[in-house]
Amino acid sequence: MDKCMVSPDGDITITNDGATILSMMHVENEIGKLLVQLSKSQDDEIGDGTTGVVGEFSFLFFLISEF
């Protein structure tokens, strides 16, 4: 499913690429920044699978946060 992103200066981007969506977001949380870096690394090395990697990381973070 495509997402429509509008930047503060009015540029419009329509994409379904997780790495593009995350790179356009303003993230202040350190764990969130780590997710953005993870997504960018996955996209740079493999070129695909960013959404899956973020989902797996999020699940692992959920598991360890219960301790």
| Structural domains counted in the chain | 1
Q: What is the pLDDT of residues 12-55, one digit of tens each?
A: 999 888 888 888 888 899 988 988 898 888 888 888 888 888 88
pLDDT of residue 7: 87
The DSSP secondary structure of 37-63, one letter per residue, reads HHHHHHHHHTSS-HHHHHHHHHHHHHH
pTM greater than 0.75 (yes/no): no
Check residue 58 and give its pLDDT: 87
**Separation CA 63–CA 40 (nearest Å):** 23
Say whether pLDDT at 67 is over 80: no
pLDDT for 59 equals 92
Domain housing 49: 3-65
* C-alpha to C-alpha distance for 62 and 56, rounded to whole angstroms: 10
